[in-house]
Structure 1
Amino acid sequence: MEFMEFGVSDELLGTVVPILVYWVYSGIYVMLGSLENYRLHSKMDEDDKNLVSKSTVIKGVLLQQIVQAIVAILLFTVTANDSEAGTVQKRSLIVLLRQFFIAMLVLDTWQYFMHRYMHDNKFLYRHIHSQHHRLVVPYSFGALYNHPLEGLLLDTIGGALSFLLSGMSPRTSIFFFSFATIKTVDDHCGLWLPGNLFHLFFRNNSAYHDIHHQLYGSKYNFSQPFFVMWDRILGTYMPYSLEKRAGGGLQARPSEDCKDN
């Protein structure tokens, strides 16, 4: 609880900061949404093709974040003694990097298999996961728009497992979950901006995930939010190419390599 001298604990920051990061970062993309030449879908398509209002999306995201905050508080409370015992260890850069990497692998693995199962199981897709796919044209603050049960299973439990299995401290979790939040928002932003470092370092990006939101890609590109390894290993990888869109802008389309799938 090293921020206590400022009246704020690591546990509270680990709960609140990722939520604030979500709205600030998605707000930046909202302001950039008028850059039509860098959009993967037109603004008109965003308004016409999506099957849910933005006010409903905001309410759904806020509900999920409330649940996440409650679970985070409970998790930090249960693991408080272990976190304090690891205070010295967490300051090692090597340990921090190891914890980050393990947490990324755990989160990716959990979300891939849960996400894919929600597509393969017709009941779960129809009654739960289809809510997220009401966003045919993804946008930034819709990244966490899910059925409450899906939000609990995929994101909240997935995050809890990442925290526990990586052995990270509440201080480290502030940075990891803020990073994971930024990456998730970026994947749903619907923009392909030049100089975006996520596009340079991650094959799993806004174009990759946009393919999944289209009808032809609904059985592909389940991986989120970091790597594409499970899609590649299990044959659900659909590579993309970026093409000029009629009327300006870009669009992600399945590339010729997808025939190998």
Structure 2
Amino acid sequence: MDQWKDFFLTDEALGTFVPIIVYWVYSGFYVLLDRLDGYRLHTVDEEKMKNLVSRTTVVKGVLFQQSIQALVALLLLRVTGDAGESGKTLQPPLMVQARQFLIAMFVFDTWQYFLHRYMHHNKLLYRTIHSRHHKLIVPWPFGAMYNHPLEGLLLDTIGGALSYLFSGMTPRTSIFFFSFATIKGVDDHCGILLPGNPFHIFFHNNTAYHDVHHQLHGVKYNFSQPFFIFWDKLLGTHMPYTLVKRSDGGYEAASAKKQ
């Protein structure tokens, strides 16, 4: 019993499982707000009418993907972890960790942008793989990681591994980075404009920005995820939006003229 306890308290285990726990807790928070149409970009009726997959199927798909991701993450963190004499991971100064965060964000965004964009422009890949994610025309919090297993491996798992390796972060730093990336990904798919949401204040790549991508008129735009939008801006795939008030008091993200 003590061996299992010791294992789950290691940086490698925490870096693997904490982001998964964060995913379900943060998603659950938004599901509690599900019926507040005044904060939703789409009404509950729109979700039921437009989405092509059930919530149960989404949850099962995410759990399967997370099981694969956990195996890869645990192996990667085990192989690359650098422990000192105490058995604890040696941590660099905070400024070094901040730089590692920024590098990891850039690598993650770059990998996801180009692979994500290619999956849209390659008809075979879109039809057989990426279209599964777009069955959620109305994004849903638990659906942030609802992908084809191969896409989940390529886009999220390998993308996360590359950001971890290129940044040089330790397993302990990865706990915070991947938890942050998880929260950001869920927030982008939550479909809810919560007043005072810091992600909407500090990031242009937010819930409304990604919602445009899930609509038919925006499916070839706004590929950037999960942090910045500079690749969309640089490569001409940026579609701005305006928030238009609905009759129920809520807002929807309407595309503006493409820049």
Please, what TM-score do these two structures have when normalized by structure 1?
Answer: 0.93
Question: Is the Cα contact below 8 Å between 2:11 and 2:89 reproduced in 1?
Answer: no
Change beyond 3 A, Cα 1:84–1:219: farther
Question: Is the Cα contact below 8 Å between 2:37 and 2:248 reproduced in 1?
Answer: no
Structure 2 match to 1:224: 225
Structure 2 match to 1:198: 199
Identify the range of structure 1 (62-71 vs 7-16) with the bigger mean alpha-carbon deviation: 7-16
Q: Is 2:195 the counterpart of 1:166?
A: no
Q: Matched residues in 1 for 2:130 and 2:108: separation? A: 18
- Deviation string for 1:108-153 (max 9, x for gaps)? 0000000000000000000000000000000100000000000000
Change beyond 3 A, Cα 1:170–1:33: same
Q: Secondary structure at the match of 2:139?
A: coil
Structure 1 match to 2:135: 134
Report the identity percentage: 66
Instruction: Name the count of aligned residue pairs.
Output: 253
Q: Matched residues in 1 for 2:142 and 2:7: separation? A: 31
- Deviation string for 1:169-228 (max 9, x for gaps)? 010000000000000000000011110000000000000000000000000000000000
Displacement of 1:73 in angstroms is: 1.1
Q: Secondary structure at the match of 1:226?
A: coil
Change beyond 3 A, Cα 1:69–1:7: closer
Write out aligned runs for 1:240-259 (5 A): 240-256=241-257, 258=258
Q: Matched residues in 2 for 1:215 and 1:207: separation? A: 14
Structure 1 match to 2:52: 51
Q: Matched residues in 2 for 1:48 and 1:215: separation? A: 15
Structure 2 match to 1:101: 102
In structure 2, the gaps of 5 or more residues are: none
Q: Is 2:15 the counterpart of 1:17?
A: no
Q: Secondary structure at the match of 1:143?
A: helix
Task: Give the letter for the 1:125 counterpart.
Answer: Y
Displacement of 1:6 in angstroms is: 9.3
Q: Secondary structure at the match of 1:243?
A: strand
Task: Give the letter for the 2:235 counterpart.
Answer: L
Q: Is 2:16 the counterpart of 1:35?
A: no
CA RMSD of aligned residues (A): 1.7
In structure 1, the gaps of 5 or more residues are: none
Structure 1 match to 2:187: 186
Q: Matched residues in 2 for 1:107 and 1:91: separation? A: 21
Question: Is the Cα contact below 8 Å between 2:26 and 2:183 reproduced in 1?
Answer: yes
Write out aligned runs for 1:62-141 (5 A): 62-81=63-82, 87-88=89-90, 90-141=91-142
Task: Give the letter for the 1:176 counterpart.
Answer: F
Task: Give the letter for the 1:236 counterpart.
Answer: T
